[in-house]
Chains A and B, each alone.
Chain A
Amino acid sequence: MTWRKSAARIDALLAASPEGEAVVREVADLYGAGLERLLDLLHARGALTDEALDALAADELVGGLLLVHGLHPWDAATRISHALQGSGVRLIELTADGVCRLSGPGAEDRVTAVAPEVTRVEVQTVIPVSALFSRLAS
């Protein structure tokens, strides 16, 4: 997917010349203002239906850019639950101070990718009974 390569190239270029950050900031601000205007214009014409908004929010690139500019329509818990789909891991709790509790391991990156407000990811560790027995045996 080319947008991922694009994002990786931005990282590489900025790592090589950090002074480029000022330009990136201005450009990002400009595009952010454009995205906001775009949503406003659609909303004013009734075109921003729940279906359309959800499609934008669920798209990894568009949703990611909306998140960059603080324009994402979903709250953090909704974004996390959506990102966890198909991983076999559930969101148990998201506290007010940003601690995210998951039902199992392996999905931490999915969470941080869609919820920058999360300060810590905790995985509920329930040791299966069978594992206890195997440890005793060894």
Chain B
Amino acid sequence: MTGSPLDTLRRIARAPRPPAVERCGMCATQVAPEHSHVVDLQSRQLLCACRACYLLFTDDHAHLRYRAVPGRYLGFDGPVLEERDWDELQIPVGLAFLFHNSSLERMVAFYPGPAGATESELDLPAWERIAARHPALATMRPDVEALLVRRGKDGYLVPIDACYELVGRLRTLWRGFDGGQEAHAAISAFFDEVRSR
């Protein structure tokens, strides 16, 4: 049927929306659902990255604004943080991730909550004590890798985007002071995934 000159616009505007595709934050090319990220060291934001753009930022020592997030997962035997460490961190929940922020030139600690990730004070002696017990932590790369830990349970060296993914998942599920049942189930499921990596 021929009709209005505006038929094309009408068709496009009324058509069901195709599922949103994820695009590279650098060059806007379409990326697969499983893709890498780069960290913007100024805004601390994660950007989705296609393979080509990702590879531009893999050098740890380059003076660049962006840094590629590696895919490494590393497990530790037993709890990485001791009860004393947790008490000093004053984190109200039994879950945290720690990483070296190269802009601030120090270690920072975050824990999840309904508002996203909240920073907690982490003093240098406390971190040096933890690092001394686990030599593998010396290989943790600044800005892009983090130590993800559960109080009294396990700890892993993970890519920083995994931490933000966990924070994102928990944000919508978090109820009350300690997160509630759904959040705890999500944490367990997430750590099961991390362990299998």
| Residue among A10, A68, A108 with max Cβ neighbours from chain B (10 Å) | A68
Closest CB-CB distance, B15 to chain A, in whole Å? 8
**Interface membership of chain A positions 10-36, coded 1 if the CB is closer than 8 angstroms to chain B and 0 otherwise:** 110010000001001100110010000
Q: Is B8 touching A14 in the complex (CB atoms < 8 A)?
A: yes
Q: Is A112 touching B10 in the complex (CB atoms < 8 A)?
A: no
Task: Provide the residues of chain A in CB contact with B62, threshold 8 Å.
Answer: none
Instruction: Select A112's contact among B2, B12, B13, B15, beta carbons within 8 Å.
Output: B2
Number of contacting residues on A, CB 8 A? 26
Q: Given A109-B2, A113-B3, check contact A7 B8 (CB 8 Å).
A: yes
B9 interface residue (CB < 8 Å to A) = yes
Q: Would you call the interface of chain A mostly helix, strand, loop, or mixed?
A: helix
Q: Is A114 touching B4 in the complex (CB atoms < 8 A)?
A: yes
Q: Closest residue to B2 on the A side, CB-wise?
A: A109
Q: Is B14 touching A70 in the complex (CB atoms < 8 A)?
A: yes
Instruction: Select B12's contact among A3, A25, A67, A70, beta carbons within 8 Å.
Output: A25
Closest CB-CB distance, A9 to chain B, in whole Å? 10
Given contacts A10-B8, A10-B9, A25-B17, 12 further A-B contacts (CB under 8 A): A7-B5, A21-B12, A24-B12, A28-B9, A32-B13, A65-B6, A67-B4, A68-B10, A109-B3, A113-B3, A116-B10, A121-B1
